[in-house]
Structure 1
Amino acid sequence: MTDADAYLRAWEPDNVVRFPRDQWMREFAAPAASYPDVDFLPVEMSAVYTAYLTGRFELYTALDLGGDAGMQLKVIGGVPSDRDGMLFCLDTATGRVLLLGVAEGTLELVNSTFKALTEFLYHFARFVDADSGAAGRPARAKALRATLHAADPAALADPESWWSIALMQLEGTVT
């Protein structure tokens, strides 16, 4: 288990934003174990995540997909290169994190739990901080893949998933 100080060191204290963890745990059906142990997220994480949204959707916006029996989501971030069109969302019933393609209305599993997302972002930040250039990056990326797979195998099960593609780029197997 990673403690709050480790997350702050990895993400930097001035690069975090709080979310209402305790309130969400009371209000939503998602299991308590699906939530991170911390009540903050990084604001900017290289090319993989941002909490800085500037368009139509704001951080923590509620989205109702399908009415009364539909899926209830909370926006918890976006893809930095498309922060208005690709949103990371918490499924409030299950605790999963999904990538919502706004234009097409697509949903893709990012992580099995909100907790797993924060663990992935933590390990990714440590990977970036330790990066010493392209020469050793592929081997380090394979080690990162193993660490992330141990934390959430479902996030990497599909070779076309968000995390699979990000790791393939680091490993040098995709351009």
Structure 2
Amino acid sequence: MRIIEKDENGISPIIGVILMIFIAIITARLVLLLVFGLGEEIQNQYYKIQTEEYSNKDFLSVKILNYTDNSPLPNVTIEVLEHGEGRLLQGPYITNESGYVMIQIPDGYDDYFDIVGEYKNVTITKTIDRRPLWVKSESYFGSLGIQLIVGIILIVCGVFIERMRKKSIGMKK
């Protein structure tokens, strides 16, 4: 009579493939979000907004550049709005001949606000988001997505710990 031995040294290949796919998708999404400005999209090809923060963090230098040749764009109207609400917080400001304007960062909104530029009926919005990464990630993945990420990480860690435990038991025999 032949005894059939069970191999308990791993997880099902199907579960392993599913976990690898989830991890690859989540990793790709995180890399795209971090490398390419957390989902910031180019809204048109006419002009762009660049910002530079000063050391005291109360003011922000805004520069408007022509998209084709990076030349300064004067007389652009700039406003600071509450993100997602559209409520005016600061402004309007007008860029000078060098395409610059200095704006004061609104009190209480210094982590998350929109800079809106308007020039010849073309409007561009740049979101300033200085919130911690875990707060930003919920905006992109949602709370269910965060729960899935944590769950997958826990499953992978659990499988790894279980394998290590079984190896150590096997070595003691």
TM-score with structure 2 setting the length: 0.24
Over alpha carbons, which structure has the higher Rg? Answer: 2
Which structure shows the bigger proportion of residues in helix conformation? 1
Which structure shows the bigger proportion of residues in strand conformation? 2
